[in-house]
Amino acid sequence: MTAHPVEGRSGTVAVARPRPAGYPVPMGTRLESIARTTADSHGMFAEGSPVLAMVSGGADSVCLLLWLASLPDIRPGLCVLTVNHLLRGAASDDDEAFVVALCGDLGVPCRVVRYDVAAYAEAERLNLEDAGRRIRYRFAEEESDARVEAAGCALGSGRIAVAHTFDDRMETFLMRLATGAGPTGLMGIPYVRGKVVRPLLDIRRSDVVEYLETRGQGWREDATNSDTSRLRARVRAELLPLFEAINPRFDDALARSLAVLGDEDDLLDSMARAFANDFGERRGGGVRLDRSRMVTLSRPMRRRVVRMALQAAFPESSRIEFEHIEALVDGLSEDGFARDLPEGLRALCEYGTLVISRDPASRAPMAPSLLEVPGTVDLGPAGTVSAEIAGTEPLDAGEMTAVVDADRLRGILTVGSVLPGDRMKPLGMGGTRKLQDVLTDAKVPRRVRHLTPVIRDGVSIVWVAGVRMSEDYRVGPGTVRALRLHWTGPADQEDRA
């Protein structure tokens, strides 16, 4: 196998260390043995179910892909998702091309998603790392479910394999130790969370490099990983070497500590889960906790029960900070308590209960979704968007339907919200316009613009549902294949009036 280097482009470099001719490649290695033991001991893979590997082109994810592709029980249902964040120009495109070529060499199906993570981060007021993580896992969940359905396997049986190593776990521990975290936070990266599995979590990054070098397999290096203005890079370059200098077996010592923390965390979680079930209830899209019963618990247990109930009702709240949990625990004893929380949530005390619900005034953009062809995406309160192959004859599509030239699409279709800086070339116009101006001209009220689906092909806006399609995708005399897009809007269409 070879790397696919691109000379003279900043941001990413390709690394290839081919083995000498005749150099033996071991059939079984320490890395393979450890990864298999980790996977089996944590029940990571369901027999016969598809496995989706998230591959960026870096050493860790390339190692994960090679290892999974070598397993006879995994290989038949293995596929890859690579997400181009469009953050580093040509370097991002080169990473994408590298992964596609590697999958071609291995004969593993590969799905490419291109998404403007910077715009999404600005819209959601997130840092780039968090925004990228959300985008990757959102698309991975959808792709995994689609693969499971196509394979006829039980819903939820698919697995999403990611390539975190023990180095990532050590770095996360030190980052959270420096910035503040409780036992659960210090535990950092779990082996299994829902469909997500991490079979390389007991493996050092040095073992990953050795594994690739013995196979002559190249990989891509993201230059931003060496930028010590970023906390993780600084911990990796400065803090971790310091601890290893103090204790050369720091990795073993930390592994033992994390195992103890994990066992105790599991015990406390089981207790908190029981209290959350007894003292709380899910109702009306939110969660309600009985204040009189909650205050009988110790403060540490109250804190854990609040966090568990919150995350069960709102999975996106998993990264709500300690200070917010503390405020909610304090609020259990305050009759007039009310507080805004991240992710568009609001908490208040009423009639002896602490209520946490979605703030009606919040207008968080809809999470981006893949749109299969043919297929339909459920956007919750924003309705559904469907796509199907159509004839090329002219028709009066109406504002809720658009017919576009399928061969002009430059990537897979995604559906999401209006993002800051969006521009499009409206049908019938020669130049581009700000999407906010297009929506203003169409008299779409600001209060419902977050419910207006925007369909993209990974590069450009194809259609703003119910408003205007792009001139770039107009069906014309030379059209060979056409695609019909249809939006079934919110149940209460008057909301858009």
CA 282 to chain centre: 26
**pLDDT at 497 exceeding the cut of 50:** no
What average pLDDT does range 145-152 have in this prediction?
88
Look up tokens 């196979």; give the residue: 215
pLDDT at 493: 47
Gap between the Cα atoms of 63 and 219, Å rounded: 9
Which amino acid is present at 34?
I
Mean pLDDT score, 263-282: 91
Q: How far apart are CA 145 and CA 140, in angstroms?
A: 8
Structure tokens at 488: 């079934």
Is there a cis peptide before residue 72, judged by omega within 30 degrees of 0? Answer: no
Report which DSSP code applies to 71.
-
Chain centroid to Cα 244, Å, comes to 32
Res 397: pLDDT: 61
CATH 3.40.50.620 is held by the domain 12-246: yes
For residue 7, pLDDT beyond 50 = no
pTM, two decimals, is: 0.74
CATH domain 259-358 topology: Chorismate Mutase Domain, subunit A (1.20.59)
Alpha carbon 407 to chain centroid distance?
A: 29
For 154-212, write each residue's pLDDT tens digit: 888 899 999 999 999 999 999 988 887 777 778 778 899 889 999 999 999 999 999 99
User: pLDDT at position 109, please?
Assistant: 95
| CA-closest candidate to residue 453, choices 402, 392, 389 | 402
pLDDT attached to residue 471: 93
Which of 4, 174, 17, 162 is closest to 95 using CA atoms? 4
Write down the domain spans for the chain.
Answer: 12-246, 259-358, 369-496
> What does the pLDDT read at residue 395?
55
pLDDT score of 367: 77
What H or E segment, with its residue span, contains residue 251? Answer: helix 250-279
Residue with tokens 């430059």, as numbered in its chain:
410
Q: Lowest-confidence range among 62-66, 287-291, 391-395, 492-496? A: 492-496
Q: Give the mean pLDDT of 121-145.
A: 87
Distance CA 419, CA 401 (A): 22
Topology agreement, domain 12-246 and domain 259-358: no
Question: In this predicted structure, what is the pLDDT of residue 227?
Answer: 79
d(CA 10, CA 251): 33
pLDDT band at 455 (very low <50, low <70, confident <90, very high): very high
Q: What is the pLDDT of residues 381-399, one digit of tens each?
A: 788 999 998 876 655 567 8
DSSP designation for 482: E
- For residue 125, what are the contacts with CB-CB under 8 A and spacing of at least 6? none
User: How far apart, in whole angstroms, are the C-alpha atoms of residue 159 and residue 192?
Assistant: 10
Count of residues making up the chain: 497
Listing DSSP states for 419-436 in one string gives -TT-EE-BTT-SS-EEHH
Distances, alpha carbon 478 to alpha carbons 163, 237, 361, 394, 396, in Å: 45, 56, 47, 13, 19
* Whether residue 496 has pLDDT greater than 60: no
Question: According to the model, what pLDDT value does residue 39 have?
Answer: 95
Helices 90-106 and 59-69 cross at an angle (nearest 10°) of 20
14-28, 217-231, 258-272, 340-354: least confidently modelled range? 14-28
Q: How far is CA 102 from CA 139, 144, 219, in A?
A: 21, 20, 10
CB atoms within 10 A of CB 223: 12
pLDDT tens, residue by residue, 68-124: 999 999 999 999 999 999 998 899 999 999 999 999 999 999 999 999 999 888 877
Flag whether pLDDT at 494 surpasses 70. Answer: no
For residue 1, is pLDDT > 50?
no
Residue type, 146: A
For residue 196, the model assigns a pLDDT of 95
Per-residue confidence at 365, pLDDT binned at 50, 70, 90?
Answer: low
* 8 Å CB contact between 15 and 27: no
